[in-house]
Amino acid sequence: MTDMLAPLLRVDSSADGAESVTRRLTSLFVERWRGEVRHRDLAADPVPPIREPYARLGRRVERRGIVPLHDIAALVADDDERREWDRTLPLITELREARTVLLGVPMYNFSVPAALKAWIDRVTFPGVFANALPDTRFVVVTARGGAYGPGTPREGFDFQEPYLRTYLTNLGVRPENLAFVHAELTRVGDLPALAGLEDLAEKSLTRARERILELTAA
Ligand SMILES: Cc1cc2nc3c(=O)[nH]c(=O)nc-3n(C[C@H](O)[C@H](O)[C@H](O)COP(=O)(O)O)c2cc1C
């Protein structure tokens, strides 16, 4: 990976702490990173779900087409909208300033955690990423209790990668700037239904760690 000195934005969303597989993998990524790191922990410091004044301001902005980020404040109509915009602008700025974004994403109910979705809904304010992300790299590190690869009984149940791939490419992220790293079968020690799959779980974690080392290699 080039441009190691540009800021890295690490976004964690696991409700687990030290036990979290995604947090351990995003920590490994950060240990290998040689530039500035900014950390947003959506479990410890949740982003509030969007409210009606956010939607109202969003519609007003959309009617004007693409509005430069710093002109949006002038369209705020009241204190409720101001409060929503004040909660939103720093998150958008942080994301636009990052050259690499590292997302730690546990699988919850076949999809992404609500904490991450609340952040996505808030940062994706109308128009603010138009032409802003062509050089931004995204590394998405997921962990799943089960397995979802080809030939598994739950093939087709993975609504994490397809959702995030569609969301990010629609936002303007180039496919070559998007990498997914999956650790599967993480609940093998807890769920009797997964007994006997310990080796596969170990291999999946080893592959995920190796992939992170590759992605952070100079
Ligand atoms: C609320 C919740 C929902 C979950 N849903 C799923 C699921 O749909 N499929 C699955 O394979 N594992 C599921 N799991 C297990 C997690 O994906 C697994 O524990 C993973 O390691 C979570 O990432 P983390 O270790 O970084 O927290 C769920 C766990 C929780 C807490």
Residue 138: its pLDDT value, please? 98
Q: How far is the CA of 158 from the centre of ligand 1 (A)?
A: 12
Phi first, then psi, for residue 97 (nearest 5°) are -80, -20
52-91, pLDDT tens digit by residue? 999 999 999 999 999 999 999 999 999 999 999 999 999 9
Q: How far is the CA of 30 from the centre of ligand 1 (A)?
A: 23
All structural domains of the chain with their residue ranges: 8-216
| 3-state SS, residue 130 | coil
> What are the tokens at 181?
């790293």
Residue 131: its pLDDT value, please? 87
205 lines ligand 1 (CB under 6 A): no
Residue 3: its pLDDT value, please? 54
In the sheet that holds 100-106, the strands lie side by side as 37-41, 8-12, 100-106, 137-143, 178-183
CATH architecture of 8-216: 3-Layer(aba) Sandwich (3.40)
Whole-angstrom distance, CA of residue 152 vs CA of residue 26: 26
Task: Enumerate residue ranges in the chain where pLDDT < 50.
Answer: 1-2
Hey, whose CA ends up nearest to atom 3 of ligand 1?
108
Residue 5: its pLDDT value, please? 63
Q: How far is the CA of 170 from the centre of ligand 1 (A)?
A: 26
Counting from 1 in the atom list of ligand 1, the atom nearest the Cα of 187 is: 19
Counting from 1 in the atom list of ligand 1, the atom nearest the Cα of 109 is: 8
Counting from 1 in the atom list of ligand 1, the atom nearest the Cα of 110 is: 8
115 lines ligand 1 (CB under 6 A): no
Whole-angstrom distance, CA of residue 160 vs CA of residue 146: 13
Whole-angstrom distance, CA of residue 97 vs CA of residue 75: 23
Residue 117: its pLDDT value, please? 98
